[in-house]
């Protein structure tokens, strides 16, 4: 079981999909209101935040639950699913998807080589996860000249066959969007087809595309969980509004019909903002965020902050038994390929650690059962203070939180945890070290 943090609350998702809620008061009134709203959409007679909270409190007292603070999924599946949606939680032991017969990374790599990359949105057919624009001009034209189904050639080249009716190439286009997480765009036509939550790089390209058409966009959006929806935005719609709708849909399955400025919380923040800050732009434009944060006096020198602490924390690194044998002799080497269950997220060679003991069990689950302590106090005393940084997503979230609070956002609306996907192994206690750590600073804490 893994404890997943969501916004301001802590809830455990058990292996069978049930929820453990140790303190029901940790869930905010706003979250209860959302839960109630979603239950009404599913024809439940839930009459607001207090009513939803009372219902869940009653469920927790059900004698058939496996524990007093657990809501069994088998007994209350709809309520459990809605709470997971509102708190942005995912099952720790989800059903395994059907194994792909091909590598999405190789399909993307081959597509780049065959079609090429362009910097001109008019020529593009797809936005790839890293923000690259796949050139569908078909030979150097100024606009998109190829049909999106031309991507089928890449699958055929890799001996990948996707069942289709009458030899249609459409399933290959669908597969490219679904498994390779590409976003289909019209390029020289103002439409977007999205099948997954955009990456930050894709979001930045989408904002440029929406701006290019002054907000006049036709959106086709589809999610395996929530189904399909279509929207046509009129000229003058803010690009950030369209992007926000896309993100909201993949989180909740709904798209707001109201302009963003009619959201009372956002309107309040805009009225309080006396610095002329575009708060929507802050969410998706890193360069703009960096510029605004610097002007507001944000100190982003984490290396200086870390080593100048009065009480330096012990850092912990988890690894496998096999790796530990080499670490005892050579120390901790920087890894450049993977950090365990996931890639380095383009961070490069580094040693990944945590300063929070509470996170050790989480890291053990993904990286290995051997726990090694790093003596930062001795490192500092010896003058060995290598560059360190936070998890990039948390670094950005803390910067964003600082700017939003300076701009007048209420503290609970600007809490950094709201802007990080906690299910993607992003932990606030992560400290990334850009140096080899000699054995003299290491000690074994746990060896299962």
* Pairwise CA distance, residues 191 & 216, whole Å: 9
Q: What is the pLDDT of residue 166?
A: 52
Residue 421: per-residue pLDDT: 55
List pLDDT tens digits, range 37-60.
777 655 567 788 888 888 888 888
Task: Please state the domain extents for the chain.
Answer: 2-86, 104-269, 302-391+427-447
- Which residues in the chain come in under a pLDDT of 50? 1-9, 92-98, 257-273, 337-338, 340-345, 422-424
CATH of region 302-391+427-447: 3.20.170.30
pLDDT for the residue numbered 96: 41
Give the phi and the psi of residue 223 in degrees, each rounded to 5: -135, 140
């Amino acid at each position: 079981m893994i404890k997943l943090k969501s916004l301001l609350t802590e809830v455990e998702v058990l292996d069978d999909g049930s929820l453990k809620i140790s303190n029901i008061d940790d869930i905010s009134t706003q979250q209860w209101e959302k839960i109630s709203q979603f239950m009404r959409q599913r024809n439940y007679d839930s009459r607001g935040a207090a009513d939803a909270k009372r219902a869940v409190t009653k469920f927790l007292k059900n004698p058939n639950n496996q524990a007093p603070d657990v809501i069994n999924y088998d007994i209350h599946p709809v309520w459990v699913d809605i709470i997971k949606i509102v708190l942005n939680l995912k099952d720790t032991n989800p059903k395994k998807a059907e194994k792909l017969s091909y590598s999405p990374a190789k399909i993307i790599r081959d597509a780049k080589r065959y079609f090429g990359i362009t910097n001109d949105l008019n020529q593009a057919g797809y936005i790839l996860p890293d923000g690259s624009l796949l050139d569908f001009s078909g030979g150097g034209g100024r606009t998109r000249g190829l049909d999106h189904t031309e991507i089928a050639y890449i699958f055929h080249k890799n001996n990948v066959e996707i069942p289709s009716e009458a030899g249609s190439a459409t399933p290959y286009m669908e597969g490219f969007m679904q498994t390779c997480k590409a976003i289909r765009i019209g390029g020289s036509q103002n439409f977007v087809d999205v099948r997954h939550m955009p990456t930050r790089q894709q979001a930045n390209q989408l904002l440029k595309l929406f701006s290019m058409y002054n907000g006049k966009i036709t959106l086709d959006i589809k999610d395996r969980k929530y189904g399909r929806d279509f929207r046509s935005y009129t000229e003058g719609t803010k690009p950030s509004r369209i992007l926000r709708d896309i993100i909201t849909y993949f989180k909740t399955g709904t798209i707001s019909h109201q302009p963003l400025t009619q959201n009372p919380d956002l309107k309040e923040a805009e009225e309080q903002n006396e610095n002329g800050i575009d708060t929507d732009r802050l969410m998706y434009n890193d360069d703009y965020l960096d510029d605004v944060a610097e002007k507001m006096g944000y100190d982003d020198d984490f290396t200086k902050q870390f080593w100048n602490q009065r009480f330096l924390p012990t850092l912990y690194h988890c690894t496998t038994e096999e790796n530990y044998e080499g670490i005892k002799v050579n120390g901790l080497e920087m890894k450049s390929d993977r950090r365990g269950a996931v890639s380095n997220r383009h961070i490069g060679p580094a040693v990944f650690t945590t300063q929070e003991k509470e996170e050790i069990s989480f890291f053990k689950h993904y990286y290995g059962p051997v726990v090694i302590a790093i003596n930062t106090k001795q490192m500092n005393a010896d003058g060995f203070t290598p560059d360190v940084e936070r998890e990039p997503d948390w670094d950005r979230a803390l910067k964003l939180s600082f700017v939003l609070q300076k701009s007048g956002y209420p503290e609970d609306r600007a809490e950094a945890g709201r802007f990080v996907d906690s299910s993607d192994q992003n932990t606030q206690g992560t400290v990334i070290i850009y140096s080899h750590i000699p054995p003299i600073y290491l000690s074994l804490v746990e060896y299962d």
